[in-house]
């Protein structure tokens, strides 16, 4: 079976793969999920108990959402608002109060947290004083591991060197900078602040001053992106001294300014799989040749320079406390989405799906171990998974193990990584169904 025959559409993100997995499992959508909603009181009952052995074995994190930006990027339709419409002092106080409230529960208080992640929006629209209020509440009320990763997403124009150093003094030890491209033309298409030269200068200044982990985001396959533009982005990533880079194929989100511009034929955007693949492989192979290794499907890092604990917590189904308007997470066996102060949606996590969602998360790291994947599944599952992995190996998506039992993704496998994960999960699910197994 040829590669194109196997996959007709590329899943560009983990969320695409999750949606496909949900369909395979018959997971209810929309109103079907609402039938299983619980109240916050159900969560509180669990939080008043200490974490049991299973909870203690999992990594733990906190996700803090800041849904405000100075400027809305052309490709973005995420949960965010323009800064001018926000009372940021009030929002910082709300976050601090939430940390205090969660810290009062034994479930939270009795086990240290490995990661705190500020996402958005653009968290660095908050001032240093507002961050100080939040981080003081964090340290006063939440037990943190000695090496806790405190990570902040930012744009360049919201994070000068002095602000970065001030936040580092407060405990921030990791920044993720949304650059997207150093091409001046590309930056205009994507609605970024600064031209390419200024963007590079600002990154070099930040790298020289900040000694913590510094990662950046790069987008490839944007309208009319040339080979020279993606090659230039890769070369800058190598020479700039950054620790890691997330590289994403541009996703056109309905409702974004760029989507509307394409729909109105103001922007021409024609791409196909080979065009997308060529840019992916060029970027990946340049960084791999410079010593970067795969941290997850869309992230490369210099060895030992970026642990990225937050994403491990997400993919390993660890506890992740969601704080802030628009924050989602999971805690004490519940999925939680915080809509606004005092308004949360809560639903119990379905254990029959849990195994497969964790498997999907683990496959984001690019290693396929049939024995590990089949653990806890019916006896026939390992054989079926092994056969599927060998089949994908024959198609050169996967590379046989030099030692141990884990296969690794090839560059083509990384490009199709989310599709491949779903394909293997489909095999595991069908094997379990065939033996009339209960998903547990």
Mean pLDDT of the chain: 91
Cβ-contact 64, 119 below 8 angstroms: yes
Cβ-contact 397, 413 below 8 angstroms: yes
Classify domain 40-315 at the CATH topology level: pyruvate-formate lyase- activating enzyme (3.80.30)
Query: Which residue do the tokens 């990791």 mark?
Result: 174
Taking the C-alpha atoms of residue 145 and residue 142, their distance in angstroms, rounded to an integer, is 10
Task: Give the C-alpha distances (Å, rounded to integers) separating 152 from 124, 126, 380.
Answer: 8, 11, 44
Express as a percent the part of the chain with pLDDT over 90: 75
Lowest mean pLDDT among 82-96, 270-284, 364-378: 82-96
Stretch 70-96: mean pLDDT: 72
The yes-or-no verdict on residue 397 having pLDDT over 50 is yes
Q: How confident is the model over 325-359, as pLDDT tens digits? A: 999 999 999 999 998 888 999 999 988 788 899 99
CB-neighbour burial class of residue 31 (10 A; exposed 0-12, middle 13-18, buried 19+): exposed
Q: How confident is the model at residue 378 (pLDDT cuts 50, 70, 90)?
A: confident
The reported pLDDT for the residue numbered 26 is 84
The reported pLDDT for the residue numbered 268 is 86
Stretch 296-315: mean pLDDT: 97
Residues of the chain with CATH 1.10.10: 3-27+351-434
The yes-or-no verdict on residue 73 having pLDDT over 60 is no
Q: How confident is the model over 97-148, as pLDDT tens digits? A: 999 999 999 999 999 999 999 999 999 999 999 999 999 999 999 999 999 9
The yes-or-no verdict on residue 209 having pLDDT over 60 is yes
Task: Give the C-alpha distances (Å, rounded to integers) separating 343 from 36, 228, 325, 337.
Answer: 17, 48, 9, 9
The reported pLDDT for the residue numbered 437 is 46
The reported pLDDT for the residue numbered 54 is 79
Taking the C-alpha atoms of residue 110 and residue 142, their distance in angstroms, rounded to an integer, is 9
Residues of the chain with CATH 3.80.30.20: 40-315
The reported pLDDT for the residue numbered 266 is 86
Residues 6+ apart with CB under 8 A from 305: 213, 243, 244
CATH architecture of 3-27+351-434: Orthogonal Bundle (1.10)
Task: Give the C-alpha distances (Å, rounded to integers) separating 422 from 18, 138, 176.
Answer: 8, 38, 28
Stretch 4-12: mean pLDDT: 83
The reported pLDDT for the residue numbered 440 is 41
Stretch 65-87: mean pLDDT: 67
The reported pLDDT for the residue numbered 394 is 97
Residue with more model confidence, 437 or 112: 112
CA angle 183, 189, 190 (to 5 degrees): 85
Q: How confident is the model over 154-200, as pLDDT tens digits? A: 999 999 999 999 999 999 999 999 999 999 999 999 988 899 999 99
Cβ-contact 422, 25 below 8 angstroms: no
The reported pLDDT for the residue numbered 6 is 82
Residues 6+ apart with CB under 8 A from 338: 65, 322, 323, 324, 325, 326, 327, 328, 344
Q: 312-325 burial, b for 16+ CB within 10 Å, e for fewer?
A: bbbbebbbbbbbbb
Could you tell me the pTM of the whole model? 0.92
Which two three-digit tokens encode residue 239?
A: 């020479």
Task: For strands 144-154 and 174-180, give the pairing.
Answer: parallel
Residues 6+ apart with CB under 8 A from 401: 407, 408
């Amino acid at each position: 079976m040829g590669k194109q025959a196997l996959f007709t559409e590329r899943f560009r993100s983990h969320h695409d793969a999750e949606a496909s997995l949900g369909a395979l499992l018959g997971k209810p959508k929309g109103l079907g999920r609402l039938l299983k909603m619980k109240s916050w009181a159900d969560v509180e009952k669990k939080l008043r108990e200490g974490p049991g052995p299973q909870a203690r074995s999992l990594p733990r994190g906190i996700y803090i959402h800041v849904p405000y930006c100075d400027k809305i990027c052309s490709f973005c339709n995420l949960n965010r608002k323009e800064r001018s419409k926000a009372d940021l002092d009030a929002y910082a106080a709300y976050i601090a109060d939430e940390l205090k409230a969660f810290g009062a529960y034994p479930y939270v208080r009795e086990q240290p947290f490995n990661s705190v992640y500020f996402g958005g929006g653009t968290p660095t629209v908050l001032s240093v004083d507002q961050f100080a209020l939040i981080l003081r509440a964090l340290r006063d009320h939440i037990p943190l591991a000695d090496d806790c990763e405190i990570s902040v997403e930012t744009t360049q124009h919201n994070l000068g060197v002095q602000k970065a150093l001030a936040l580092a003094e407060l405990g921030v030890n990791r920044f993720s900078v949304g650059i997207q491209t150093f091409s001046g033309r590309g930056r205009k298409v994507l609605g970024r602040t600064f031209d390419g030269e200024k963007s590079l200068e600002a990154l070099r200044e930040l790298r020289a001053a900040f000694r913590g982990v510094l990662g950046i985001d790069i987008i490839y396959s944007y309208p009319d992106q040339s080979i020279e533009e993606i090659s230039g982005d890769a070369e800058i990533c190598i020479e700039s001294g950054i620790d890691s880079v997330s590289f994403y194929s541009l996703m056109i989100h309905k409702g974004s300014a760029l989507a509307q511009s394409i729909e109105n034929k103001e922007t021409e955007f024609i791409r196909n799989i080979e065009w997308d693949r060529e840019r992916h492989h060029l970027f990946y192979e340049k960084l791999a040749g410079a010593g970067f290794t795969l941290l997850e499907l869309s992230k490369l890092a210099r060895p030992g320079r970026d642990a990225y604990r937050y994403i491990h917590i997400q993919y390993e189904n660890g506890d992740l406390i969601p704080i802030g308007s628009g924050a989602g997470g999971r805690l004490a066996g519940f999925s939680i989405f915080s809509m606004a102060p005092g308004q949360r949606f809560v639903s119990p996590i379905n254990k029959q799906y849990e195994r497969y969602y964790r498997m999907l998360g683990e496959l984001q790291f690019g290693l396929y171990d049939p024995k590990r994947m089949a653990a806890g599944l019916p006896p026939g599952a390992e054989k079926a998974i092994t056969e599927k992995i060998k089949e994908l190996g024959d198609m050169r998506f996967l590379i046989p193990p030099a030692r141990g039992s884990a296969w690794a993704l090839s560059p083509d496998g990384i490009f199709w990584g989310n599709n491949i994960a779903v394909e293997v999960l489909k095999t595991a699910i069908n094997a379990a169904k065939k033996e009339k197994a209960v998903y547990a």
